[in-house]
Amino acid sequence: MRVLAFDTATAACTVAVVDGGRVLAELTLQVPRAHSTRLMPLIAQALREAGMERRDLDAIAVGVGPGSFTGLRIGLATAKGLALALDIPVVPVSTLAAAAYGTGAQTGLVVPLFDAKRDQVFTAVYAAGDRDPSTWAELLGPANLHVDELAEQVRSLRAGRDDTRQFVTLCGDAAEVHAARLGLGPAVRCAAPGALLPRGSAVAALGLSLLERGGAVAPDALAPVYLRKSEAESLWEKRKSPSAP
């Protein structure tokens, strides 16, 4: 199964081309607010390096967030357009799950933390498995939480498991900032710098696993995971409120 995978929900614009379990090409750029001009050239370059053309693809896997509203719109619009043009299935992949899986952790809990401003994060909690994504367990689904609330959740989940002596691996752009606030001391470790943000190869691995379990959707059904309203929407609602000055 030849899959093109990409994610644009974070500061990383990341693309991979895989054939089954083999990564043929992977390219990642960390250039915030430039995904609209970088994504298609990265896709073209990744296909060239993989020795493929678009018509050779069997499926597309795309990160659906949570993350940047603008980045998500760019990624999902590109995935829909390519899938429709090529008449191939598209697989939605959680950006949080891809970031967690991409850490390479094989034991303990894995917690992605992406900055959502005002001491809040986009997050989830996973129990690490092996390199087969289906062996990973989601213990806390995608959520927008205050860091202190997340800390309580992590401590509670960890106390209820038999691996409390194992590490809690953090990833995401807010991992290093908030690591100490989880209150777990040396049990907490951050992923390597190159594994903090989601990578195309992780999106591809999760996408392939979902494909095998019937996780593909029609391009028109592809939708982003928004855990809160955009600042523009919130401002508009505030202005429309009867109590607004």
* Token pair belonging to 15: 């693309």
Contact 101, 206 (CB under 8 A): yes
What's the alpha-carbon Rg for the chain, to the nearest Å? 18
Q: Is residue 8's pLDDT more than 90?
A: yes
pTM score of the predicted model: 0.92
Contact 93, 206 (CB under 8 A): yes
Closest CA to 135 of 167, 110, 160, 156: 110
Q: Write out pLDDT tens, residues 70-111.
A: 999 999 999 999 999 999 999 999 999 999 999 999 999 999
Q: Please, which pLDDT band fits residue 242 given cuts at 50, 70 and 90?
A: low
Q: Write out pLDDT tens, residues 122-180.
A: 999 999 999 999 999 999 999 999 999 999 999 999 888 776 668 999 999 999 999 99
Task: Give one word for 136, left, alpha or beta, with left for phi > 0 and alpha for psi -120 to 50.
Answer: beta
Percent of the chain with pLDDT over 70: 91
